[in-house]
Copies of this chain bind each other. A is one copy, B any other.
Amino acid sequence: MSGSIPRATVRRLPAYLQFLEESISIHTTVASDDIALATGTSAAQVRKDLSQLGSFGTRGVGYDVVALHNLISRALGLESERPVAIIGAGNLGTALANYRGFGERGFRIVAVYDADPRRIGKRIDTLVVRPVDALKKDARRNGLEIGMIATPADAAQSVTDMLVDAGIEAILNFAPVVVKVPANVTVHQVDLATELRILSYHLAQRAR
């Protein structure tokens, strides 16, 4: 069924899910047009995307909010909570560890690691920063599934290697370097300065 969903669709599904979560207490039904409006896309796009997950709207009526929510959750593999570790307990790592949005959306930060002895033992929310060497042992015990890299650029590759060695197959990398991983591991990069540079292009276009 959901053998495989096109990349572009997968990128939009979380936004649809977000909107459905906000709608769930308000409506029992939503139209493709409602979803489109809330997520900044088109109704045709929404219907096309949803049809990839199988048909189940009702013509003349729309989509059942709860049913659609469940369907997208399942498609994204969000039925059970996924344990996440943060590597790097600097400003960014600390901010990530404190961020409530992860928990609300089914991800649990189970540990924060750092290599710097001065940071080890530091409390962040309910967690205590652990030495990065403990990662591999911990990973098995915690059933760790996702690693978030919040280290400086020059540490990112070696941290990545540790994560891979610990059996993690999904990595979110905030360091501004492309890290190498084996084919079975997925890395997404969030580069804050890159986003600003793209915005800069738009400012420059406007000025001409």
Contact = CB atoms under 8 A, between A and B. Distances in A.
Interface of A: 4-5, 10-11, 13-15, 17-18, 38-40, 75-78, 82, 84, 91-92, 94-96, 98-99, 101-102, 104-107, 145-146, 169-172, 176, 178, 184, 186, 188, 190-207
B203 A82 contact: yes
A14 B178 contact: no
29 contacts: A13-B201, A15-B191, A38-B178, A76-B197, A77-B204, A77-B205, A77-B207, A78-B200, A82-B196, A82-B200, A82-B203, A91-B94, A91-B99, A92-B99, A95-B95, A96-B192, A101-B192, A101-B193, A104-B193, A105-B193, A106-B200, A146-B196, A146-B200, A169-B203, A172-B192, A172-B195, A172-B196, A188-B199, A190-B195
A84 B78 CA distance: 36
B105 A145 contact: no
Contact of A188 (B76, B170, B171, B198): B198
Contacts of A171: 199
B10 A201 contact: yes
A15 B191 CA distance: 9
A20 to B, nearest CB: 13
B76 A178 contact: no
B178 A99 contact: no
Given A95-B94, A178-B40, A107 B196 contact: yes
Nearest to A75: B201
